[in-house]
Amino acid sequence: MNDISNAQTTIGASVQNLRERFIDRAYHQAQELDHLLGQLEADPSDQAARASVTSIVHKISGVAKTLGFERLGILAHEAECDLIAQGNQTTADTTVIAFEKVEVLIEELDSVIAS
């Protein structure tokens, strides 16, 4: 049990530091996602913008829950699944559907930053 409690203490200190870095990064990610969604609204076929959105969402999804941002992690995962499921469908309608969850994610990012 000593090993486990030592591990938890060590991880706990690191997690706090990483949480701060995560929040700092979330600020820039929220802005970037907003910008990219604007690009995709103008041109739903912009594959580079779509790939960037997916990459940012994937990064959030990968660490948010472990760092204690559970709701953010869930929203990011759902958004990522939608983006992947949408694949190469690039009509205006499908873009709107696929990125609804990204917009919800941006709102949650703003909420995390504000708190």
Partner 1 sequence: MQILIVDDDDIALDLLDSALRGAGYTDLTTAMSGAEALAIVEATETPFDVFLLDIQMPGIDGIELCSRLRAMPEYESVPIIMITAMQERHYIEQAFAAGAMDYINKPFDPIELGVRIGIASRLSRQAHRVEEYATEAAILKARTGVGASFAADEPITIRDVPRVIGMTAMENYLLRLNYWMTINSKSVVFSVVGFRLIHAQTSPSDLYDVLSDTACAIANGLKHTKHLVTYVGDGKFVAVVNGRNATLDADTLLAIQSELDQCPPILSSGLEYPVQLNMGAVYTPSILSVPNRLNLLLGPQQLAPGTNQPRERKPTAA
Contacting positions for partner 1 (CB under 8 A): 3-4, 6-11, 14-15, 18, 21-22, 25, 55, 58-59, 61-67, 73, 77, 80-81, 84
**99 within 8 A of 33, measured Cβ to Cβ:** no
Nearest-approach distance from CB 63 to partner 1, in angstroms: 5
**32 within 8 A of 52, measured Cβ to Cβ:** yes
Name the residue nearer to partner 1 (CB basis): 42 or 88: 88
Instruction: Tell me how far apart the alpha carbons of residues 115 and 111 are, in angstroms, rounded to a whole number.
Output: 6
Nearest-approach distance from CB 92 to partner 1, in angstroms: 26
Name the residue nearer to partner 1 (CB basis): 24 or 107: 24
Nearest-approach distance from CB 30 to partner 1, in angstroms: 15
CA-closest candidate to residue 61, choices 79, 49, 48, 47: 79
Name the residue nearer to partner 1 (CB basis): 88 or 93: 88
**DSSP 8-state class, residue 43:** -
Nearest-approach distance from CB 100 to partner 1, in angstroms: 20
**56 within 8 A of 33, measured Cβ to Cβ:** yes
Locate 51 and state its tokens.
């790939």
